Amino acid sequence: MKNNDLQIIIAQLDFMVGDIDGNAAQILSAAQQAHDQYGADLIVFPELTLTGYPPEDLLFRDSIRIRVEKALSRLCSSLPPELYVLIGYPRKAEGTLHNAAGLIYQGRVIAEYFKQELPNYLVFDEKRYFQPGDQPCVVDVRGHQIAITICEDIWHAGPMSQARNAGAELMLNLNASPFHLNKETVRKELLLKRAQEGGMPIVYANLVGGQDELVFDGGSMVVDARGEPTFRAAAFKAGLFPVFFDVENKLAPRLVSVAPDLSKEASAYSALVLAVKDYVNKNGFKGAVLGLSGGVDSALTLAVAVDALGADRVEAVMMPFRYTSQMSLEDAEMEANALAVNYKVIPIEPMYEAFMNSLAKEFEGTEKDTTEENIQARCRGVILMAISNKKRFIVLTTGNKSEMSVGYATLYGDMAGGFDVLKDVPKTLVFRLCEYRNSLTPDNPPIPQRVIDRPPSAELAPDQKDEDSLPPYPVLDAILEMYVERDFSADAIVAQGYDSETVRWVIRQVDLNEYKRRQSPVGARITARAFGRDRRYPITCKWPAGE
């Protein structure tokens, strides 16, 4: 860095939705550090910094305007006066609510920008709350013309064109861009295109943290006027990151460091860990409890929970029944010991027999079917929820995306809980994530290899295997990816070479089990389209299957 460089701090931080006072305090602390430790000229925070993102229907509350204005007033009077501070907040102007960014300097907001491009697809719902702006915002900072934009603005050519025509030399872009697999590649390609169109560098400051099912991965970056990255922050990590711009060379950014791309497995695993950590901690749970079956899904969930919370805040419970194999008992104990968690074994046979005795007359004259299997799962759900209530531990459920798609789960049984870690993780990715997690601690792998290698089973009936009820997981996941994430019709999937009968069975199961998913716990979103905010289908419906 040269002494006359323009120094900007990217505040890649984790903010709490609704905690306006707490978020303001975090802004103040970060700004003070940017001033005292770094001697920075400007600090850039993520989108809707004061309210957290997404605030959803909190934006309809009359009091939000008052609270935001009070927080802004406190910040203006408390921030270092010689530091430029760029934050996001909802702003009501002339009776209209906007997604705004304000630049604070010397005790006042000297410039304000209203987001022009409001996303209204997938997990985004901004047109429900905001009206778009239509004007650029280019402000003088230390004698340089700097443009301000917000998130979706960078996905469209218009705001960059406006900024260029207004004489901007550099663009600052505040973001709350949620993670999904391959998102980093999409962002890099996007920034390359916009920087070349505008002929100027871009500072892309992104949020980090978990918010319900959304995970924000950070990955803030700077690209030069050619779109080449000169800085990228590590993904999934909060921090203040200084970047520098040569004032004698059209604010060309200096090369700082470019964090390497993460593998698909590393990205997914990091997202799950961050999601669990923030969901548990932000909602005030003391820890987490889960049923440990000896199978691959619960083993991976346990590893994620420990990496998110620490072993001392995680309890694992094996709840064996007559169909539980000795191998499952051994594997569950090995998993718990490898991760050093509190481990209990609570057999469900007495509970199951009590239920069956109570239901004997009701079931008289009927044949055994999945009802008896579901009672086993519901016994386990009762145990876990009792532990949850008593210890203030959240129950982590272990159903993966493949199972949840086709309803291979029991309502009020293995679906009973507060957060489904693997809800958006296809079974084929579950296996790869297990191998990845083992590679992190090869001397003490938390998931025994035979758990990964043996055929998956719910163990609710003698010699039961998942593939007795489901297509092979590689086939199932490929069909689900096309139908759930890409909206392919049955005919379009069959045209890809898949068996017609299998395709139509899978699609019918997905459609029929919307009612189950609607009652399932929230879970981390890691694919381009998850169940929940992304995919909203009616339960009561006569739409032809596969159309």
Tell me the pairing of strands 419-420 and 522-523.
Answer: parallel
Residue pLDDT, tens place only, 7-43? 999 999 999 999 999 999 999 999 999 999 999 999 9
C-alpha torsion angle, residues 302, 303, 308, 309 (rounded to 10): 50
Among candidate residues 546, 536, 400, the one with its CA nearest the CA of residue 477: 400
Q: Is the peptide bond before 471 cis (omega within 30 degrees of 0)?
A: no
Q: Give pLDDT, residue 335.
A: 95
Q: What is d(CA 280, CA 385) in angstroms, rounded to the nearest whole number? A: 16
Please give the average pLDDT of every successive group of 10 residues along the chain, which has 547 residues: 83 97 97 96 98 95 93 96 97 93 97 96 92 96 96 95 96 96 94 96 98 96 96 97 94 93 96 98 97 95 98 97 90 94 96 95 92 93 96 97 93 94 96 96 93 76 68 93 93 94 94 92 94 86 77
Q: How far apart are alpha carbons 536 and 533 in whole angstroms? A: 7
Half-sphere exposure of 519 (CA within 13 A, CB side): 13
- Number of other residues whose CB lies within 10 A of the CB of residue 349: 14
Local structure of residue 19 (DSSP, 8 states): -
Please classify residue 536 by burial: count the beta carbons closer than 10 Å to its beta carbon, then call 0-12 exposed, 13-18 middle and 19+ buried.
Answer: exposed
The pLDDT assigned to 463 comes to 66
Bridge-based pairing state of the strands 393-397 and 342-345: unpaired
Cβ neighbors of 86 (< 8 A, separation 6 or more) are: 42, 43, 44, 45, 101, 102, 103, 104, 148, 172, 174
Distance CA 198, CA 153 (A): 13
What are the Cα distances from residue 4, in Å, to 22, 36, 39, 103, 360? 34, 18, 12, 22, 84
Q: Comparing C-alpha atoms, which of 332, 311, 307 is closest to residue 450?
A: 332
* DSSP 3-state of 397: strand
| Active-site amino acid positions | 47, 115, 151
User: What confidence score (pLDDT) does residue 507 get?
Assistant: 94
| Dihedral, 527, 531, 537, 539 alpha carbons, nearest 10 | 160
Q: What is the pLDDT of residue 341?
A: 97
Q: What distances in angstroms separate CA 387 from CA 150, 180, 291, 384, 417, one per listed residue?
A: 44, 33, 11, 5, 11
Structural domains for the chain: 6-254 (3.60.110.10), 266-466 (3.40.50.620)
- In which residue are the tokens 């025509």 written? 165
Burial of 165: CB neighbours in 10 Å, binned 0-12, 13-18, 19+: exposed
Backbone angles phi, psi at 395, to 5 degrees: -85, 120
Q: What is the edge-to-edge ordering of all strands in the sheet holding 239-246? A: 108-114, 96-105, 84-93, 42-44, 6-12, 239-246, 252-253
Instruction: Report the C-alpha gap between 350 and 510 in whole angstroms.
Output: 35
Residue 38 to residue 27: CA distance in whole angstroms: 15
Q: For residue 514, what are the contacts with CB-CB under 8 A and spacing of at least 6?
A: 537, 538, 539, 541
pLDDT score for 339 = 96
Smallest CA-to-CA distance from 71 within 38, 49, 99, 93 is with 49
| Euclidean distance between CA atoms 272 and 267, whole angstroms | 9
Report residue 184 as tokens: 């980093």
Specify burial of residue 193 (Cβ count, 10 A radius: 0-12, 13-18, 19+).
Answer: middle
Strand blocks (E) in 106-176 = 108-114, 138-141, 144-150, 170-175
